[in-house]
Amino acid sequence: MSKIRPFYVMEVLERAFRMQAEGNDVIHLQMGEPDFDTPRTITQAGIRALEQKRTHYVQALGIPALRERIADYYPAPCRPPVERVVVTPGSSAGLQLVFACLLNPGDEVLLADPGYPCNNNFVHLYGGVPRGIPCNPDSNYQLTAKAIAQHWNENTRAVLIGTPSNPTGSVVPPDEMSRIANTVRRLGGRLIVDEIYHGLVYDTDVRTALFDGNDIFVVNSFSKYYGMTGWRLGWLVVPDDYIDDITRLSQNLFISASTPAQYAALHAFDAETTEELEYRRATFQRRRDYFVPALRELGFAVPLMPQGAFYVYADCSRFSTDSDTVALDLLEQALVGVAPGKDFGVYRQHEHIRFSYANAMDKLEQAVARMAGFLSRT
């Protein structure tokens, strides 16, 4: 437990809610979830599932119809057999299943720093050692095959890539992902690719890592693109040689993922749902196109235009050498909530904060105006 760190953004959120309860109109740009509600088609299916009394345990790996639908979501050349698709209680559970079955005490996992904070804690939880590798804009804030080979040692067991990344929104290009997969394979480790933000990509194409081999663990979720954070539903595509391990772990750790959520998610891939989700994706893109230049204008450095997710990882060193102070001041004096850099790693954490543009355009404009006022006074 001594190695498990808090998720600091949750503390910011609590403080922001307290301030709101005291009558302050806080603009939330610290959120890690879409501001849109779950699409109606999915919600209605969830209601029907409850009415049809689909409230009991189901198969540990997920209901067959949903596993099939997930398998069909992948393009034909890399479509996995349904046996390799595992439904999980969110990708948080999926990531834990993967680390639980891969790691022995002392095994190292290479991850990008900055990266999604919970991963370090998951690795610790299963006795592993997370090794954050400093990543800069020149490599898209992502690990490269070269960096992986450089940092590999006899204890390295696995590499985790998140693409698009939280907090930077950067994407690993397909040719680099192929090089990474080959390198990890050559070195005798396992590659885990978190594709939870795959639906939310702008001006670029992403390709699932399933194209790069069926020995890769692919993690995904209904949370972000599908707008189902609170339903707690995700999935894994598991290499053949780990299906048995993952099955035993799923049975024991979770019994099964939420039953009504699974019936609801059967409609996540419907044409009507896709139309709504693509409209939302275009909305995120418009917000990004407004917000990133506006932040740069305010004096934040954003070296790379984020290509996906709904985050901007901004260098705030022009204002302070302590990003915690910037985050606190923005909240208390500009009434704008942001996530502090220390949530995403140790490398240059004091120079960065993370903004989320999962908020309405008028709120983003208001936040920019408030920050402009505050920064001109300091």
Ligand X SMILES: Cc1ncc(COP(=O)(O)O)c(C=O)c1O
Q: Which chain residues interact with ligand X by CB under 6 A?
A: 32, 90-92, 116, 162, 166, 194, 196, 221, 223, 229, 234
CB of 223 to ligand X, least distance (A): 3
Residue closest to ligand X when measured from CB atoms: 90
Separation between Cα atoms, residue 344 and residue 181, nearest integer Å: 24
Separation between Cα atoms, residue 70 and residue 144, nearest integer Å: 29
CB of 38 to ligand X, least distance (A): 13
CB of 230 to ligand X, least distance (A): 9
Nearer residue to ligand X within complex by CB, 32 or 62: 32
Nearer residue to ligand X within complex by CB, 41 or 88: 88
CB of 266 to ligand X, least distance (A): 18
CB of 57 to ligand X, least distance (A): 20
Separation between Cα atoms, residue 242 and residue 240, nearest integer Å: 5
In 3-state terms, what secondary structure has residue 97? helix
Nearer residue to ligand X within complex by CB, 287 or 354: 354
How many other C-beta atoms can be found within 10 angstroms of the C-beta atom of residue 74?
17
Separation between Cα atoms, residue 225 and residue 264, nearest integer Å: 15
Separation between Cα atoms, residue 378 and residue 373, nearest integer Å: 9
CB of 93 to ligand X, least distance (A): 7
Q: What is the DSSP letter of 109?
A: E
Separation between Cα atoms, residue 266 and residue 262, nearest integer Å: 6
Separation between Cα atoms, residue 349 and residue 357, nearest integer Å: 20
* Beta-bridge partner residues of 237: 85, 218
Nearer residue to ligand X within complex by CB, 132 or 162: 162
Q: What is the DSSP letter of 110?
A: E
Nearer residue to ligand X within complex by CB, 92 or 178: 92
Nearer residue to ligand X within complex by CB, 59 or 91: 91
Q: Do 16 and 331 meet the contact criterion of CB atoms below 8 Å apart? A: yes
